[in-house]
Amino acid sequence: MANQQDSQDRADALRLDSVVARVRGEYSEMPGLQLTCAQACRLWNMDPVACETLLEQLVEDGFLCKTDKGAYIAAPTVRRRT
């Protein structure tokens, strides 16, 4: 029984990693992208709770920012002059 649960946990982690990579990729490829949680749920076919958790984690990680209107946008990057 534990093996089956371990396999399921690994599969869930791989799916989550895949979704995180997709979200990061979408925001990286489209710098002006602004999505509400509802829009993100539809775009990535996620349930609202999981989607909000993912978006908020990316905010905590500094990858995304949340606007006053509730949209998630890519965090500004600092470019250093060389």
CATH number (domain holding residue 58): 1.10.10.10
Q: Which has more confidence, 2 or 77? A: 77
Whether the per-residue pLDDT at 49 is higher than 80: the answer is yes
Averaged over 48-52, what is the pLDDT? 94
The number of distinct structural domains making up the chain is 1
Would residue 7 count as lying in a domain? yes
Is the CB of residue 40 less than 8 Å from the CB of residue 72? yes
80 in a structural domain: no
Q: Is residue 64 part of a domain?
A: yes
Q: What is the pTM of this model?
A: 0.77
Task: Please say if the pLDDT value at position 7 is more than 60.
Answer: no
Does residue 16 fall inside a structural domain? yes
Is residue 82 included in any domain, yes or no? no
